[in-house]
Amino acid sequence: MEAEASRLAMATVRRHVWIQGRVQGVNFRNAAKQVADQLHLTGWVKNLPDGRVEAVFEGAGDALEQVLTWCRHGPPASRVEELQVQAEPATGEFLRFVVLR
């Protein structure tokens, strides 16, 4: 059982997220990149025209849980009202985490 939990924590997973609230103009994307880099995650983050932030994270399951927890509150100046999370198959297509403009 413990070995299975350890294997799942290390398995590469992918989450596509949309964050709604006061999340633009508050350094959300750059802060997300810093957190993703610290957790050794790959993917991207960008602002959407409707005021939300969209991101794709790939990496170890335990690191993904940590970044999702962070996304629920974001950086100090932000105010997250809603976090939508969609599980997707990991593709391994990313070499690093980037901020898209």
From 27, 47, 72, 101, active-site residue: 47
29/47 Cα distance (integer angstroms): 8
User: Is residue 29 annotated as a catalytic residue, yes or no?
Assistant: yes
User: Is residue 22 annotated as a catalytic residue, yes or no?
Assistant: no
From 7, 14, 22, 29, active-site residue: 29
Largest CA distance in the chain: 45
18/49 Cα distance (integer angstroms): 12
Q: Which residues are catalytic?
A: 29, 47
